[in-house]
Amino acid sequence: MSLTVALSKGKLLSGTQELFRGAGLPFPDGEGRRLVVPMGDLRFLFVKDWDVPTYVEYGVADCGIAGRDVVLESGSDVFEPLDLGFGGCRLVVAVPSGSPFSLGSASTVRVATKYPRVATEYFLGRGISVEAVRLAGSVEIAPGLGLADCIVDIVETGRTLEENGLDAVETVAESSARLVVNRASFHARRAEVQRLVQTLEGAVR
Amino acid sequence: MNGTHRLAQIPPGVQCFVGDEARRRRRIEETVLSVFEGWDYEEIIPPLFDYADVFTGETLSSKMYSFVGRDGSVLALRPDFTSLLAKIAAGRLRDRPAPIRLYYSGEVVRYEPPRAGRQSELFQMGLEHLGGEPRAADAEVLTIAAECLEELGAEGFVLSLGHVGVFTGLLAGSGIEGARLEGLRERVEAKDARGVRRALAEVDLAPEAKSALERLTTLAGGLEVLDQAAEAFACCPAAAAAVAELRAVAVAVSVAGLGSRLAVDLGEVRGLDYYTGLVFRAFVPGLGFEVGGGGRYDTLLARFGRPLPAVGFMLGLDRVALLLARHKDEPAPSAAVAEPVTGADLGSALAEARTKRAAGTRVRFGNGGGR
């Protein structure tokens, strides 16, 4: 049986494709609507980026490629043996530029985010009471409209924040693409998993 | 959320098993318990609840269903059997000479959101080996675990071994604790070498120990890992001693013919707080999470006043059932076909049914009903 690898067609796709090609591994062309693509020794699953850790945690996929931000938010119990070096970004707390609001002064901070779990844990860990408002996107507009005091979101270049009048004030976590591996597959299919990890590791360096 | 609604709705985390599924679970339980009996372990049926203090450790206490008893004492539904068995062995069985071999089978309850084959109600079958020579006991328990999985037909199973003393040995004298220790442990557990390096950046520890800790993320594989580990831990006698202990056990189990079933994972550093030595988990291809595991806990019994080293292991019946249900060529066992017994005269029909029952026939009395 071939190893199953869960991938997303989201923002990590081009980096993933480059990595696999560089490692001399087969990779689907990307066109078409097939979501399960067997190729060589591997079987690829194309799923939503937020679902990659779930497929891997349940062992439906043996391995997957997911952003550390997504792995953190999912709370999935998976191995993360390789930092793949692409898809780099930071999860930050951003507040409206020039506003008198400060994290320490509010009795409860209301934060708009796609990462309610990470955000809640971060604020509680700092001893700050928090109310996370979960949004699916366009998080940056929430403070300006009065939905939240601040946001927790990923930042690559900082342009989006700037254009929406926000300043990153604290870094919650660094993120990049990770190879994630199911815990049981790691042991029960050790030879194949190790071969894939080593091949990819060689291409990252 | 009115009362009527509640009568149909079930609370999250509980399960109900009907017919063939229940039969499958009973059969799994019979298989495993007959292996336990075969190694001369004795069954113990502990109470469903006890004082909350009996169940120690942060991992468990945050998940306990505890309540206040009529006399004001804090009680908890058992989240775990090991603490209960330790208490019984130290108390009621205190005059019994060690080693004591005990097994149990039953439900524990833990507050856990249903996830990855885990419910709030878990059915565990396990054993505890209390006292005796530690290496021999470790090897015995691993061998029994392997026999259970063989008898269950869990093809391709692997027992992945680790040792708590490796991680604690490497950190000795570092003074790292609390959230920083948890952060480090979590990165080691994830096999994230870069993350480990980052977590260690500000820890006061010899560079050799730091690089050995980073190596934990890759010290996983076959038994050859133990050789690599012995080299990597040359700087740290405590960690090297733990590896030597693990090797003695692994060699014995290999000689017994189970070498191909063993794996080593020195990055497995989590688990219940009471483990002190060998730790292991059982994995089977086709199931994304472990079916069981165990380890050595040499300090737990002292809490109850009878210091004895101990080792134990358990299999999760829910996960074994999930695994076997996935083997499509192995349908759930079904019942024999019943012979219907009917008649106009109730008394003579019952008499006929009794005659058939005496001959061992499965009967269905009266008409109707489905399955």
Residue of B218, B221, B283 lying closest to A188 (CB–CB): B283
Domain definitions of chain A by residue range: 3-87+176-204, 89-175
Search chain A and give the residue with CA nearest B220: A187
From the CA of B116, how many Å to the nearest CA of chain A?
A: 6
3-state class of B77 per DSSP?
Answer: strand
- Domain A3-87+176-204 top-level CATH class: alpha beta
Tell me whether 0.90 is exceeded by the ipTM.
no
Inform me whether the C-beta atom of residue B128 falls under 8 Å from chain A C-beta atoms: no
Fold assignment, A89-175: D-Maltodextrin-Binding Protein; domain 2 (3.40.190)
pLDDT at A194: 92
A79-83 and A177-181 beta bridge pairing = antiparallel
Chain A residues whose CB is inside 8 A of the B218 CB are: 81
pLDDT at A64: 96
B121-130 and B100-109 beta bridge pairing = antiparallel
- Do the chains contact at A81 and B191, CB–CB below 8 Å? yes
The 10s digit of each residue's pLDDT in A103-159 is 777 788 999 999 999 999 999 988 899 999 999 989 999 999 999 999 999 998 888
Inform me whether the C-beta atom of residue A77 falls under 8 Å from chain B C-beta atoms: yes
- Do the chains contact at B285 and A188, CB–CB below 8 Å? yes
Chains A, B: CB pairs < 8 Å: 65
In order of their start, the domains of chain B are: 10-157+284-326 (3.30.930.10), 339-371 (no CATH)
Residue of A81, A184, A190 lying closest to B221 (CB–CB): A190
- Do the chains contact at B290 and A183, CB–CB below 8 Å? yes
- Do the chains contact at B284 and A188, CB–CB below 8 Å? yes
pLDDT at B307: 94
pLDDT at A61: 95
Same fold, A3-87+176-204 and A89-175: yes
* Residues 6 or more apart whose Cβ sits within 8 Å of residue A132: A111, A113, A116, A119, A120
In a structure prediction context, what are the per-residue pLDDT tens digits for chain A, which is 205 residues long?
689 999 998 889 989 999 999 999 988 876 667 888 888 889 999 999 999 999 999 999 999 999 999 999 999 989 999 999 999 999 999 999 988 777 777 788 999 999 999 999 999 988 899 999 999 989 999 999 999 999 999 998 888 899 999 999 999 999 999 999 999 999 989 889 999 999 999 988 7
Q: Using CA atoms, how far apart are residues A42 and A3, in angstroms rounded to an integer?
A: 5
Quick one: residue B121, left, alpha or beta (phi over 0 = left, psi -120 to 50 = alpha)?
beta
Average pLDDT along chain B, 371 residues, taken 10 residues at a time:
70 85 92 97 96 82 89 94 94 93 96 76 95 96 97 94 92 83 90 90 86 91 91 90 95 95 90 84 91 94 94 95 76 76 91 94 81 61
pLDDT at A110: 94
Give me A137's structure tokens.
């996107």
- Do the chains contact at B288 and A80, CB–CB below 8 Å? no
Chain A residues whose CB is inside 8 A of the B221 CB are: 190, 194
